[in-house]
A and B are shown apart, each in its own frame.
Chain A
Amino acid sequence: MSQLFKPSMNTLARVSLSCALIVPGALVVGLSSITRSPYNTKVEVPLDQPVPFSHTHHADELGIDCRYCHSSVEKSGFAGIPPSHTCMSCHSQIWTNSPLLEPVRESYEKDIPLVWNRVNKVPDFVYFDHSIHIAKGVNCNVCHGPVQKMQMTWKGKPFFMSWCLDCHRDPGKYIRPKDEVFGLFRKYQESSKGANLTGSEYSLMATAHYKPSKEDQARGRKLVQEYGIKVETLSDCYICHR
């Protein structure tokens, strides 16, 4: 009877053993980096829209307050996308012949909703509310990236649960005085693209990665007390999954 395992089988065994370790590892790393890549999360990928609406133009160059269009952001969970009535309150008077605005005019005249493509989204099993975040001094750009610099709107953050929790466990890191939620946009606009902003203000207004300075974090932790934020319960599951 011939030998069942030839000596060359040793190598084969070693190779297959190490493969058994490497392949699942590579799969996990590979799949999770696909999950976290812009390909999956769509972060920093500008989305096509029926009308090439530019936040750079309207929010920064023209200095229109976010609430002019997203008027429910302070008082409800939903920030709101402006109806074509809002666009027409200006565009019935200016740029009235622009072909780019044809869908807006049509929507307004025929009273059919304009369908924008959604940029930011959490799954349906997650509960999110804008008003509480605005009321506690979280600037829009902490969660959305530098909106007032976007020609076409893109997603600033992937909205992973770990990201929400990073702030909910220690909100002091990110929160700022309430009047800065909208005040900073004005400051950025008036300071010719951020020349007079502090380093951390600049990182918030002009980049997708807010880097609060030590002083800002210390101030934020004081604000947490002042605003009466209950940090102990803020990362309980029921806060976001209800």
Chain B
Amino acid sequence: MDRESINRMFTRRRLQRLAGLLSLALVAGCHTDMWIQPKAKPLQQSDFFADGAASRPPVANTVAQGQLRTDDHLYTGIVAKKYVDEFPFAIAKQDIERGQDRFNIYCSPCHGALGDGKGMIAQRGLALRAQPATYHTERLRKMPVGYFFDVITHGHGAMFSYAQRVDPDDRWKIVSYIRALQLSQHSALEDLTAEEQGQIDEKPVGIGIAAAAGDTHAGTNGAAAGGHTEGGSKH
């Protein structure tokens, strides 16, 4: 082939077209249009709103459908300016178990699996300004259930509110489990039936957090709380 025919084959025009085609093939790999769509997912950033977040907080006093919380007993634990001493719904065994589950997630890091205030934080934070409370005091055993509900909802002292993370129903179930814990740590052997006394040395059956070192407690445990064991070690 002579030089001239080669030149004719690769005219500038043709080269440009070829480059255009090749770059089209490259661009075909960059399909961002569907990958990043103009829609907002939860917690996504946004440069449109002043606070930089795509999710909008509801306008003050918004009531979501079906969430008009008129039942003071259920949603505040306070009726006529007094803490209620009754649960807003009947507590069955599975409610206490649900309460145990939620308690172990949200409360046990500070209050300990047994509610004795010896959770991981209490053991780690050597210089805590306020020690987590134990539930096994005369004062708290006498407190109405509404008080515990209120503390979970609004926090107390150094404790923050857990209202965002624990739904009202679950808060009541946690309270029912706290009652079970209080009973378990404050019963005498004689309070149990003969049959229950026989079960004391059996292995606890609950799924609960096994007590960490230093969490061991003498005395009876779960059996007193309506056949409901929590996973503390026995003696």
Binding site for B on A (CB under 8 A): 62-65, 67-68, 71, 78, 80-81, 83, 85-86, 88-90, 92-94, 112-113, 115, 123-125, 179, 183, 186, 190
Contact = CB atoms under 8 A, between A and B. Distances in A.
A78 B162 CA distance: 19
Given A88-B160, A124-B37, 11 more contacts: A62-B109, A65-B105, A80-B42, A80-B43, A86-B165, A90-B109, A92-B160, A113-B51, A113-B53, A124-B35, A186-B209
B207 A94 contact: no
Interface string B51-63: 1110000000000
B105 A94 contact: no
Interface string B98-112: 000000111001100
B34 A92 contact: no
A112 B53 CA distance: 9
Given A85-B160, A92-B160, A123 B207 contact: no
Contact of B36 (A90, A92, A124): A124
Contacts of B160: 85, 88-89, 92
B207 to A, nearest CB: 7
A113 B124 CA distance: 28
Given A63-B120, A92-B160, A124 B34 contact: yes
A89 B132 CA distance: 12
Given A78-B41, A80-B43, A123-B35, A90 B51 contact: no
Interface in B42-83: 42-43, 45, 51-53
A183 B52 CA distance: 37
7 A-B pairs closest in CB distance: A94-B125, A89-B160, A124-B37, A123-B35, A65-B105, A71-B165, A78-B42
Given A94-B124, A113-B52, A64 B109 contact: yes
Contact of A92 (B42, B52, B158): B158
Contacts of B6: none
B200 interface: no
B9 interface: no
Nearest to B158: A93
Contacts of B110: 90
Nearest to B104: A65
B121 A85 contact: no
12 contacts: A63-B109, A64-B109, A64-B120, A65-B105, A68-B105, A68-B109, A78-B41, A90-B109, A90-B110, A90-B121, A92-B160, A124-B36
A93 B128 contact: yes
Give the secondary structure class of A's interface: loop
Interface in B115-161: 120-121, 124-125, 128-130, 158-160
Interface in B16-32: none
A67 B104 CA distance: 10
A123 B129 CA distance: 46
Contacts of A88: 160
A94 B126 CA distance: 9
B8 interface: no
B64 to A, nearest CB: 14
B129 A93 contact: yes
B164 interface: yes
B109 A124 contact: no
B121 to A, nearest CB: 6
Contacts of A183: 207
B178 to A, nearest CB: 18
B213 to A, nearest CB: 11
B192 interface: no
Contact of B121 (A93, A179, A186): A93
B34 A62 contact: no
A190 B105 CA distance: 16
B51 to A, nearest CB: 7
A67 B43 contact: no
B13 interface: no
A187 B200 CA distance: 24
Nearest to B155: A89
Contacts of A68: 105-106, 109, 165
A94 B37 contact: no
Interface in B158-195: 158-160, 162, 164-165
Contacts of A85: 160, 164
B148 to A, nearest CB: 17
B235 interface: no
